[in-house]
Amino acid sequence: MGTSNYSDEFKRDAVHQITVRGYPVREVSRRLGVSTYSLYKWVKLFGEPSPKPGVDHEAENRRLKRELARVTEERDIQKKRFRAAARLCAVVTACAILWLKGSCRWLIGGLDPVKKRGTWADAHLRVVTPPSR
C-alpha cells in the first residue's frame, strides 16, 4: 500500500471546497479520491477559523438588548399593576370592615391625608362622615 503525496495547492483547493463553498466532506472525498480522514486533517492545517457567514454578532447583541429592555418594561408594568391592585384591596378591605362594624363613616379619597405614617390607606384616604340625606 503506497502513500501518495498531494501538493499544498491541491490540499488548499480541497479545503476551500469544504469551508468556503460548503460542500460536504464525504462528497469532496469521493470526488477527489481522498480519504475523509485526510480531508479533516487538511482542514485543521489549512482551514482558517472564520465566523459563519450570515452571523452578525453586533446586530444580534442589539436585538437582544432591545428584547431585554422590552421584557424589563413589561415586568415593571406588571409590578405597578400588582401594587395598584394591592392598594385597591386595602381600601376595599378597610371599607368592608367599617361597613361590617356598622359605622356611619365612609372612606373617601382625599388630598390631605390624616396621617403621614401607617398603611397606604391611612396616608392616602381621609375618614369623613357621609353627607346627610
Q: Mean pLDDT, the chain, as a whole number? A: 76
Average pLDDT estimate for 4-32: 89
- Grade residue 73 by pLDDT with cuts at 50, 70 and 90: very high
Q: Is the pLDDT of residue 47 over 90?
A: no
pTM of model > 0.95: no
Average pLDDT estimate for 9-18: 91
Question: Taking Cα atoms as reference points, which of 39, 38, 36 lies closest to residue 19?
Answer: 39
- Report the distance separating Cα 101 and Cα 95, nearest Å: 10
